[in-house]
Amino acid sequence: MSYAYISSPNDGLITHYLLNDDTGELSLVEQLEAGEKVNALALSPDGSTLYGALRGQPPQVVSFSVDAGSGKLTRRAEAPLGAGLSYMATDRQGRFLFGASYGEDVVTLQPIDDELQVLESIRKYPSGLHAHSVRTDPSNRFVYACVLGVDRVLQFTLDAQAGGLRPIGEGFVTVGDNTGPRHMAFSEDGRYMFVVGEMSGTVISFAIDAQTGALSQVGVESGIPASLNLSEGLVRDSRNNNLADDPTPRVWCADIRLVPGGKLLYITERTTSSVSVFEVAEGGQLKYRDNHKLEEKQPRNIAISPNGQWLIASGELSKVVGSYRIHPDGNIARVSQAPSGDGALWIEMLA
């Protein structure tokens, strides 16, 4: 069995699900009140603590203990955040909490103590317009942040002793205009990083220098087939996130996930409520395979089960979350659903 935790900011809930690893059946276990506009979630590396970012005023992070047997959550503590976060992640050792603020254009870093509590000491790093994600690489030596509004990926060295970040080279690499780098995924060996472009619908492959952490682009592959009939995407903000005054169907990608084993990669596209699948080849190259409709409307996030057999999808405009069987060729087939919270988006999974 595996557990899934999904946040829903419209009702302030975190919903806990049980996933049957053999059948893909998804069952609702419980819903907990997390707090105002709960958004990004992050699990500690040992799976014992779940952190949730609250985007009310002032922004806070709430931590929950995770029961090792049942997966149930117990609220434990709150701490301030340096900004309203659209993305949150711990480092690979659980010593630091990183955040990306889309509205306040910063990357944040906060230490985590030995009891896995987030401390109030906050460091902020200006990112440029619309920081959207931040993560450490598998070696835990380097930190990268996608900055959607300026078409840059920031690159840092993590100074774990000092609890800070140092820029690598000039501190960033650029991608094509109006790409909108949003989320990232790493190959299991740590040699490559893949970034999805919100407005372009492309995935950019980067090689990671093993010594310095510097990124170098090695490929770009589109995940938007002509059959979707989508125009180029636009930068969005909280005032007009759904582009209600623009009737043009536009590329609006969101999440990116690698399947364990590293041979398949998925991205979400919200306008068409679909996922595109790629084959991962040698040298970090990608080959587009297909696009699949989801029943969940406006899928901001997806997750892959720890055993690599199931894709979990939430929809910001859907009343259910769904599970899909992942076939060896990357095709998916829906097998189960369960009720969701209001505006479900972020998914964390635990074996």
C-beta of residue 128 within 8 angstroms of C-beta of residue 146 = no
Convert the pLDDT of each residue in 45-84 to its tens digit.
Answer: 999 999 999 999 999 999 999 999 999 999 999 999 999 9
Domains of the chain: 2-350 (2.130.10.10)
At 38, list the tokens. 């709960």
Backbone phi, psi, residue 148, to 5°: -65, -40
Beta-strand relationship, 192-197 and 181-186: antiparallel
C-beta of residue 167 within 8 angstroms of C-beta of residue 130 = no
C-beta of residue 176 within 8 angstroms of C-beta of residue 220 = yes
Give dist(CA 266, CA 203) in Å, integer: 10
| Three-class DSSP category at 144 | strand
Comparing CA positions, the residue from 175, 173, 123 lying closest to residue 151 is 175
Give dist(CA 47, CA 58) in Å, integer: 27
pLDDT of residue 99 exceeding 90: yes
Question: What's the confidence (pLDDT) of residue 164?
Answer: 97
C-beta of residue 136 within 8 angstroms of C-beta of residue 92 = yes
Residue 244: pLDDT band (50, 70, 90) is confident
Question: What's the confidence (pLDDT) of residue 189?
Answer: 96
Question: What's the confidence (pLDDT) of residue 245?
Answer: 81
Convert the pLDDT of each residue in 288-340 to its tens digit.
Answer: 999 999 999 999 999 999 999 999 999 999 999 999 999 999 999 999 999 99
Interior angle at CA 216, CA 170 and CA 172, nearest 5: 25
Comparing CA positions, the residue from 72, 78, 195, 81 lying closest to residue 133 is 195
Question: What's the confidence (pLDDT) of residue 117?
Answer: 96
Residue 194: pLDDT band (50, 70, 90) is very high
292 beta partners = 275
Question: What's the confidence (pLDDT) of residue 242?
Answer: 76
Backbone phi, psi, residue 125, to 5°: -125, 115
With a CB cutoff of 8 Å and minimum separation 6, the contacts of 256 are 182, 183, 184, 185, 194, 195, 196, 203, 265, 266, 267, 268
C-beta of residue 78 within 8 angstroms of C-beta of residue 125 = no
Residue 209: pLDDT band (50, 70, 90) is very high
Convert the pLDDT of each residue in 288-299 to its tens digit.
Answer: 999 999 999 999
Give dist(CA 135, CA 138) in Å, integer: 9
Convert the pLDDT of each residue in 31-48 to its tens digit.
Answer: 999 999 999 999 999 999
C-beta of residue 87 within 8 angstroms of C-beta of residue 99 = yes
Residue 246: pLDDT band (50, 70, 90) is confident
pLDDT of residue 195 exceeding 80: yes
* DSSP structure class, residue 282: G
Comparing CA positions, the residue from 131, 164, 158 lying closest to residue 142 is 158
Convert the pLDDT of each residue in 118-147 to its tens digit.
Answer: 999 999 999 999 999 999 999 999 999 999
